[in-house]
Structure 1
Amino acid sequence: MAGAAAQRNLQLEREPTLPPPPAPVPVSTVMRSRSEPVVYNWQSTKTSVKERMAFMFNNETLSDVHFIVGKGDNMQRIPAHKFVLSVGSAVFDAMFNGGMATTSSEVELPDVEPAAFLALLRFLYSDEVQIGPESVMTTLYTAKKYAVPALESACVEFLKKNLSADNAFMLLTQARLFDEPQLANLCLETIDKNTVEALSAEGFTDIDLDTLIVVLERDTLGIKESMLFNAVIRWAEHEAVRQQARPTPENKRRVLGRALKLIRFPLMTVEEFANKAAQSGILTDREVVNLFLHFTVNPKPATEFPSNPRCCLTGKEQTLTRFLQVESRWGYSGTSDRIRFQVNRRIFVVGFGLYGSIHGPADYTVNIQIIHADTEEMMGQNDTSFSCDGTDSTFRVMFKDPIEIQPCENYVASATLKGPDSHYGTKGLRKVVHESASNGKVMFQFAYVAGNNNGTSVDDGQIPELIFYT
């Protein structure tokens, strides 16, 4: 027994036995306190900071906050890391580290789409932009909400590349909503150049009233006013239904509000007005009568609807002057003042500058025309009027639509005025080179038109100015 006790004491005095050295730890999946599996020693497989950060995206590993994103059946619980989010976004920095920082481990975001929030996180973790046609607008909203301008820019660039007549109105509404003026301007330019196609797209009838007003205020829409009116009526029908009202003429007028006053009825022909707008029921009897008077009598009474032409051209309006001096007393007896002209590059004439009365303020009625000199085709004309102040200035008289002038072909500019004696130009130029910094040079050549002519020539007379775009 003594021997056995001695043996036990000897065992107690010995050094404790050390465990064997650990074997190399393989990369394997283990379970931590969370229910999700976490890769152990994942760091050894990531050779760069970028790879390690990308691995953390939408990953429970080391996550210290969760976002409850979306609502209803679309709701998702998304893990994240406060440090990463705070480094990438001032909004998240304030949320987690500011004076009123949240202490909750879960943050609810019912106004954000899960796909858009994941696109935002992917960008913050990896600089990777992953957007598509279905998610770009919600991603743009999310990027703006959390102040991530680089992702905003990527969304806007995506939209620019995919902008077309079919989606221009939809994107215009979103660009105005998200305060993206550059994108909005690009949408408007696309609508200007493809007005008929854009108005025919489904997205047009879904725009809000303010966006409709922005479009109707433009002078650069490439469409006849009668066709524009038809599109506006179609929009009003859809808007009335959205407001749970029957699409009666009264309700269509009501939902249009001040947009109705932006339709340029005077630009229509009397036939177009009579066949559609006058019978639509959307105008009052007084408005219809006043517009018919505007179309049929001279001098034309004022209307409450704008009459300045829509020119489907962008760029700067230019004016060519062909006289060097102004004199007094040019009379009118119903004969047209005419001048032949030719240009060396394609232009679009939108109007003339004409001289006015030598007897003080006065009103004139005038018919202006451009005729192809060789084919005698009427390229464009307008019956209109203008008021002058008695000075020797010129006064603008505009066509309803731009008139395309081809290079090296002969055209006749004609103006038939009815009114008092006027000023006239002298020391006319046979050849004039008009130059502008943005549009280059255009050379005009003028020649006399024999026959039915009130006396205007290269040397003197009326039609001192051609107003045009290149």
Structure 2
Amino acid sequence: SHRQQQQQQQKPPQKPCCCRTRAQKILEAGYHQALLGCDQEPPHNWQATKATVKERVAYLFNTQYMSDVTFLVGQAPNEKSVPAHRFVLSISSAVFDALLNGPLADTSGQTIRLPDVDPTAFLALLRFIYSDQVCLDPDCVMATLYAAKKYAVPALERECVDYLKRHLSVDNAFLLLGQARMFDEPQLASLCLELIDRNTAEAVQSETFADVDVETLCCVLERDGLAIKECDLFMAARRWAESHLAKAGVSCTPENLRRELGRALGLIRFPLMSPEEFAHCVVQSRVLLDQEAVSVFMYYYTNPKPCTGFNDQPRCSYAGKEHVISRFCAVEQRWGYSGTSDRVRFSVNRRILVVGFGLYGSIHGPADYSVKVEIIHTDSGRLLGSNDTAFQCDGSNSTFRVCFKEPVEVLENVNYMACATLKGPDSYYGTKGARKITHDSPSHGKVTFQFCYAAGNNNGTSVEDGQIPEIIFCLQ
């Protein structure tokens, strides 16, 4: 009716609901500091500027806005307070989830101390969790790797390892090897060891070499592929021990050097040194016991070779992959030895490094042979490389590896003599030998060997028949 319409017109306007009023006030006045408890106010309507969830979560990184946990990271006086958000951390890391929400989580407070984590590395970890952004540099990458492993963020672990691989060099190889072993990163450790193998002489001169622990040192000394003379390797190990003793304030006496080297001393291959090198570098240092030094000298000058307690297997100190050229197509028996050398002449069409020979063993079952292998420059008669050693065979017609103390450089289109003087029982021998053999390496190309008869007393070995069935070499 007309009266009802008048009454409705006289009613005061309804107030908007409280929720709508609060939202309007926030939009009009911005985020008030007292309401949010923030140290800094976010820009008004910041959400509208972030098109994706990733952008909005990244915006929360290292801010007090909506944070519900605080970490005190590092140790005084460099301890740093870092705000964070339980939800973001919990969906990114099982460790954070257990720490913040598990049955042992401390829900009474919102501050968690992390004294063993570097503040810069922790911020790099959180930045990755919030935004997928990787922020690494040489000074913090190892600490960030530690944080990523501790809080189970494997994607950041991989980023750290990839970064280290890209920045691996001779100067930091030993440092990264020690860290890779500490953090159980076998792939990175393998890359470090391969680099050290190829550049041993330079790597042991780096500043980081003196800082490695003794187990890392032993890990390197056990390698067969170190590109360094054994005398120089001993001197490097001695410098390492002297550095550690100096840091500890201990005098560098022979006894203390021996004690500091520990197991590492037994990994030096003293029999690979020349008698002159051993006498000058090792004996004068007095690091070895008298009986140890005597046993090495006896190894040099007596046959059969006595046991010295030190490895006498030559190190394959070269850069590159090892290859083998086989001269024969068939194997026969019997080949005897009367003290003369089996010899064959050869040349190659490019520079190589000869690591050693493959030799045949006994036809009468397992046996020991003493052997002297040599490479001689044919025109001048100059001895380029040799090794007076021994090997064991198992009675099969397989070849057995005998290496030089150091790889021997062989130049292109130059004639050389391969010699092997064996003492032992009758052996297998090869037949149907080829005068020209080409070896094709996918990574290094082709190398062609040419063999010819060695005049003089060669124990019957020729291009077609005899000993020295294999030449072990590498390409550069």
Match of 1:199 in 2: 204
Establish whether residue 112 from structure 1 lines up as the match of residue 102 from structure 2: no
Is contact 2:327–2:433 with CA below 8 Å preserved after alignment? no
Unmatched tracts of structure 1, length 5 or more: 1-12
Q: Which residue of 2 aligns with 1:56?
A: 60
SS in 2 for 1:401: strand
Question: Does residue 74 in structure 1 map to residue 78 in structure 2?
Answer: yes
Which residue of the other structure, out of 216, 219, 223, is the alignment partner of 2:224? 219
How far the C-alpha of 1:372 sits from its partner, in A, is 3.3
Q: Deviations over 1:212-265 (max 9, x none)?
A: 111111101110000000011111122334455322111111122222111100
Counterpart of 1:32 in structure 2 is 34
TM-score, normalising length: structure 1: 0.87
CA gap 1:224/1:26 in 2 versus in 1, 3 angstroms: farther
Alignment of 1:69-468 (within 5 A): 69-103=73-107, 104-313=109-318, 315=321, 318=324, 320-322=326-328, 324-333=330-339, 335-344=340-349, 346-355=351-360, 364-374=369-379, 376-386=381-391, 394-418=399-423, 424-433=429-438, 443-451=448-456, 453-468=458-473
Distance 1:177 1:363, change over 3 A: closer
Q: Distance in 2 between matches of 1:264 and 1:113?
A: 41
1:318-361 deviation digits (Å, cap 9, x = unpaired): 3624262323353425x433211234555432222334567887
Q: Name which of structure 1's ranges 71-80 and 27-36 shifts more when overlaid on structure 2.
A: 27-36
Residue 382 to residue 125, structure 1, CA distance change in 2 (3 Å): same
Q: 1:386 to 1:87 in 2, by over 3 A?
A: closer
- Return 73-82 or 349-358, whichever deviates more: 349-358
Contact 1:323 1:464 in 2 (8 A): no
Structure 1 distance, partners of 2:84, 2:335, is: 84
Residues 164 and 27 (structure 1), Cα distance of their counterparts in 2 relative to 1, 3 Å cut:
farther
Query: For 1:189 and 1:255, how far apart are their aligned partners in 2?
Result: 26
Provide the C-alpha distance between the structure 1 equivalents of 2:364 and 2:148, rounded to a whole number of angstroms: 65
Worse-matched range after superposition: 365-374 or 126-135? 365-374
Quick one: structure 1 residues 394 and 44, their matched pair in 2 at CA, closer, same or farther if it must change by over 3 Å?
closer
Distance 1:422 1:190, change over 3 A: closer
Q: Which deviates more, 66-75 or 394-403?
A: 394-403
Counterpart AA for 1:38: E
Q: Give the secondary structure class of the aligned counterpart of 1:332.
A: coil
Separation in structure 2 between the aligned mates of residue 63 and residue 266 of structure 1, nearest angstrom: 66
Gaps of 5+ in 2: 1-9
What secondary structure, in the 3-state scheme, does the structure 2 residue paired with 1:179 have? coil
1:3 maps to what in 2?
A: none
Q: 1:422 to 1:58 in 2, by over 3 A?
A: closer
Paired residues, number: 456
CA RMSD of aligned residues (A): 3.0
Q: Is the 8 A contact 1:30 1:37 kept in 2?
A: no
Following the alignment from structure 1 to structure 2, what is the Cα–Cα distance between the partners of residues 346 and 105? 69
Instruction: Provide the residue aligned with 2:49 in structure 1.
Output: 45
Whole-Å Cα distance in 2 between the matches of residues 261 and 317 of structure 1? Answer: 30
Deviations 1:148-183 (A, max 9, x none): 111111111111111000000001111111111111
Could you tell me how far apart the structure 2 residues matched to 1:327 and 1:122 are?
A: 71
Query: 1:35-72: per-residue Cα shift (whole Å, max 9, x none)?
Result: 61222433233333233222211001111110011111
CA-CA distance at 1:189 after TM superposition: 0.8
Code of the aligned partner of 2:402: V
Residues 441/45 of structure 1: CA separation in 2 closer, same or farther (3 Å cut)? closer
Give the Cα separation in 2 of the matches to 1:110 and 1:361. 61
Name the TM-score, length of structure 2 as normaliser. 0.86
CA contact (8 A) 1:354 1:464 kept: yes
Counterpart of 1:10?
none
